[in-house]
Structure 1
C-alpha cells in the first residue's frame, strides 16, 4: 500500500472500497477519461479497473496509486509507476473538472514528482500526455518538465513525453530538480 501524502490542500490516500463510486464517476466523466489510458471505457470496465487496484496493484505491490482528497471529498486520482514506455517512473494524475483552474493540478503533480525523487530514488520522472491536452502540457512545463520526444500512436494521434530530472548537488545536499534541457 502506498503511504499517505499531504500537500497544503490535498491528501493522497490509498483507495478504500467505499471510494468506488467516486472512482467510477471520475473515470466515466469524458472530460477526464478522454486523456486517460485508452480513453473512455464502459462503466463495467471502470468498475473492473477499480477492483484490480485492490486485487492486483495493492495485493502485488505493483505501483503506487492514490485517491486524491480535498477535505472529505475525492477530487482525483494519482499514480506513479515504472513503465517501459519511458524507461523509468511515470506520473499519472486526474482531477474532477470542478477542481480545475485552482492550482490543485500543480500541487498534485509536484507531490508526485517529489515522491518519485525522495521515496523511489528516481533521478528522472516522466509524463506522457496527449498532444491535444494543452492544459496538462502547460502545467507540466510550468513545473520544470521538458518535452523530450513524441510517440506516434496506432490511431494516428501523438503522445508527448515530458521529463523532469533531479540534478545532484554538492555532497550532503538534496540536489535540485530541472526539466531536461533547462
Structure 2
C-alpha cells in the first residue's frame, strides 16, 4: 500500500476519488502533459487513467503513486516504479504551473529519490526526461542525478536517462 510521505512543504498521499477533477486538470494542462508519457491525451483518457490508479495500481499494489499537496490543494502527481526503459526504478513527477519556481519540484524529486533508497532499498534511482525539458534536467542534476544515455524515440525525439546512485545514507 502506498504510504503517506511528508516533506517540509509537501504532503504525498494516496489519491482519493475526490481528486479526479484536480488530477484531470493537471494532466489536461498542456504545459504539464507535454512532458508526461506520450504527451497530451483526451480528457476521457486522463479520467480513465485516474480510474486505473484505483482499479489496477492500488488494487494490485503494482507501484507507489501519490497525489502531491501543498497547503491542502493537489498541486502535483508522483510515482516510483520499475521500468524497462531505465533498467530499474524510475521516479516520475509533475507539478502544476502554479507550483513552479518555488523549489517544490526539487523537494518532491528529493523525497521520491530518498524513498527509493531508504524504503525500497534501491542502490540507484532513475529518471527519464525529454531532452528539451531543461528545467527538469537541471533540477535532477542539482540533486545528484547524472546523464547516462539517450534514447531516440519513434518520433525522432530524444529522451535522456539519468541515474542517481546511493553513495551514503544522507546524500539527499
- TM-score of the two chains, using structure 2 as the length reference: 0.98
Q: Aligned equivalents of 1:80 and 1:72: distance in 2? A: 22
Give yes or no for contact 1:125–1:165 (8 Å, CA) kept in 2: yes
Q: Aligned equivalents of 1:115 and 1:24: distance in 2? A: 26
Q: Aligned equivalents of 1:80 and 1:70: distance in 2? A: 20
The residue aligned with 1:101 is 101
Which runs of structure 2 are paired with 1:9-48 in the superposition (5 Å)?
Answer: 9-48=9-48
How far did 1:129 drift?
0.1
Cα deviation digits, residues 66-109 of structure 1 (max 9, x gap): 00001210000000001111111100000000100000000000
Cα deviation digits, residues 106-130 of structure 1 (max 9, x gap): 0000000000000111100000000
Structure 1 gaps, min length 5: 178-182
Q: Aligned equivalents of 2:25 and 2:49: distance in 1? A: 13
Q: Aligned equivalents of 1:88 and 1:122: distance in 2? A: 9
Query: Which structure's relative contact order is higher, taking Cα pairs within 8 Å and 6+ residues apart?
Result: 2
The residue aligned with 2:149 is 149
Q: Aligned equivalents of 1:72 and 1:102: distance in 2? A: 16
How far did 1:24 drift?
0.1
For the residue of structure 1 that corresponds to 2:140, the secondary structure is helix
- TM-score of the two chains, using structure 1 as the length reference: 0.92
Q: Aligned equivalents of 1:134 and 1:176: distance in 2? A: 23
Q: Aligned equivalents of 1:161 and 1:86: distance in 2? A: 6
Which runs of structure 2 are paired with 1:134-145 in the superposition (5 Å)?
Answer: 134-145=134-145
Which runs of structure 2 are paired with 1:1-182 in the superposition (5 Å)?
Answer: 1-167=1-167, 174=169, 176=171
Structure 2 gaps, min length 5: none
Q: Aligned equivalents of 2:24 and 2:170: distance in 1? A: 39
